[in-house]
Structure 1
Amino acid sequence: MILGAIALAGVAAWQVALRWRPAVERYPVQGVDVSEATGDVVWPVLKGEGADFGYAVATSGARTRDRAFQTNWDEMARAGLRRGAIHVFSFCQSPRAQADSFNTVVPRDPAALPVAISFRYAEDCPDRPERAALVAGVADMIARIETHTGKPVVLKVARDVERDYRLTEAFDRPLWAVGNFLRPGYGARVWRMWRATDLRRVDGVDGPVNWDVVELG
């Protein structure tokens, strides 16, 4: 009987986690980030679920274009959401080539949100460059993307990447921190965006979605 009660409590907690998001009173600006892995997104429905903005992965590395990017990019605008593009950085490919790939895919749009560059380790890329070389390459990449878009980029940096490379020390750019449920406390600067959960289930998306909030002020 006790084990059954524990199991039921676990199921209930999981259901709460699937619907959880940070309080709107604390974070009035909330949104999502998606990629082709997210599946089909019905953006007007997602807007009704409380999304004020959306970010969509555009490119990964120097050669991969997200197959859902153009659809997501167009549909976010039609739904009246502010939209931004993400480049997923590869530690195995030239930062300059990655910037050129991104600039080819994503149009210059003065109304768009700042571009986000996502730094996270991937199983298919074992390379770990020396910090000085990485920082120099990323600096060139940032300059190329910012010249194209006309806006400073946002750096979405995973905790383990920040631990190894201290990118927030190297670049005076807003930090998009990552961590489920608990406010992140890493990085050399206060984060401006927080991916608060990658488990949230909402109408308009078949699977779980990354839910993000903005720190105002």
Structure 2
Amino acid sequence: MSLTRRLALLSLLALAACGAPQSSAPPAPAGVVFAPNFSDVHPVDFNGRAPQRYPVQGIDAARFQKSIDWNTARRNGVNFAFLKATEGGDLLDPAFKDHWRDAGRAGVERGAYHFYYFCTSPEDQARWFIRNVPRTPGMLPPVLDMEWNPFSPTCAHVRPPAGEVRDQMRRWIRIVESYYGQRPIIYTTPQFYAENGLGTLRSYDFWLRATARNVSEAYPGQSWKFWQYSATGIIPGIVGKVDLNVFNGSRADWTAWLAAHKL
């Protein structure tokens, strides 16, 4: 092979390597909880207990996180991940299958979430989620993501009354819980929570977004299981910014919660 052709081949191989996530660490032992090695582009000085003081941390990811070395991410404190699966009644996140497979191989505890639309029935949306999210041994409970969506070309201005919102949530949850045998987690934002009386929903684990103030201030009196505290996290193994989350409890609490809630 000529020197010119050899150099051209090496250049192509280098470009291919740059386009794929590289695994720089072997899979970590199962069951190990790693301390977070996270940084934040826009850190917040929260009142009360800072999120960095919670021992069990993780992320949520979607198509925006295109390149994740899950083995490296786990060793740097990504102990769990909620992965976007579906949206409305006909959208599948294009990164879901890869994230689901690769996070599982790395031993990251993972669950799937559905972004709810008010232009499609809860029954159709539940069936769409079930169609695309495999019932996988060890998976975390499904998540119902409830928030207003100002960016939708069709649903941005569809905002049912609070009672109707809660009814649609219960209908989606009933179908999904029956299929997976796990009670879904509810994710929401301060505005949506307050406007729709989600505090009246009992016996559900909540995953709450609060990036400007402590979760206890954003949702007074509300119990919670997960807190999404940043959208600008930086973690080794992940290209670009990612949402940061904590579990509300000790490592022993985490182990017990997994034992009770994993499939």
With the shorter chain as reference, the TM-score category is 0.7 to 0.9
Superimposed CA distance per residue, residues 94-135 of structure 1 (whole angstroms, 9 cap, x where no aligned partner): 111111100111111241111111112212121001222222
2:230 to 183, 194, 197: 197
Show structure 2 runs of 5+ residues with no match: 1-38, 44-49, 254-263
How big is the shift at 1:187? 6.0
Query: 1:34/1:119 Cα in 2 relative to 1: closer, same or farther (>3 Å)?
Result: same
Superimposed CA distance per residue, residues 162-182 of structure 1 (whole angstroms, 9 cap, x where no aligned partner): 111012313431111111263
1:30 to 48, 57, 67: 57
Contact 1:92 1:126 in 2 (8 A): no
Where do 1:36-47 residues align within 5 Å?
36-47=63-74
Return the alpha-carbon distance in structure 2 between the equivalents of residues 99 and 202 of structure 1.
32
2:100 to 70, 73, 92: 73
Contact 2:114 2:145 in 1 (8 A): yes
The number of equivalent residue pairs is: 200
The amino acid across from 1:164 in the alignment is E
1:178 to 206, 209, 215: 209
How big is the shift at 1:190? 1.0
Query: 1:19/1:162 Cα in 2 relative to 1: closer, same or farther (>3 Å)?
Result: closer
Q: Does residue 158 in structure 1 map to residue 189 in structure 2?
A: yes
1:57 to 60, 74, 84: 84
How big is the shift at 1:92? 2.4
TM-score, normalising length: structure 1? 0.86
Return the alpha-carbon distance in structure 2 between the equivalents of residues 213 and 96 of structure 1.
31
Contact 1:166 1:187 in 2 (8 A): no
Show structure 1 runs of 5+ residues with no match: 1-15
2:241 to 195, 198, 208: 208
The amino acid across from 1:143 in the alignment is R
Q: Does residue 130 in structure 1 map to residue 168 in structure 2?
A: no
Bigger Cα Rg: 2
The amino acid across from 2:51 in the alignment is P
Specify the alignment match of 1:9 in structure 2: none
Return the alpha-carbon distance in structure 2 between the equivalents of residues 151 and 60 of structure 1.
20
TM-score, normalising length: structure 2? 0.71
Q: Does residue 91 in structure 1 map to residue 118 in structure 2?
A: yes
Q: Does residue 119 in structure 1 map to residue 146 in structure 2?
A: yes
Contact 1:178 1:195 in 2 (8 A): yes
1:18 to 11, 36, 41: 41
Return the alpha-carbon distance in structure 2 between the equivalents of residues 28 and 22 of structure 1.
9
How big is the shift at 1:57? 0.4
Specify the alignment match of 2:258 in structure 1: none
Contact 1:109 1:149 in 2 (8 A): no
Query: 1:165/1:49 Cα in 2 relative to 1: closer, same or farther (>3 Å)?
Result: same
Return the alpha-carbon distance in structure 1 between the equivalents of residues 131 and 137 of structure 2.
16
The amino acid across from 2:41 in the alignment is L
Return the alpha-carbon distance in structure 1 between the equivalents of residues 61 and 111 of structure 2.
10
Superimposed CA distance per residue, residues 167-206 of structure 1 (whole angstroms, 9 cap, x where no aligned partner): 2313431111111263213166311100011101122222
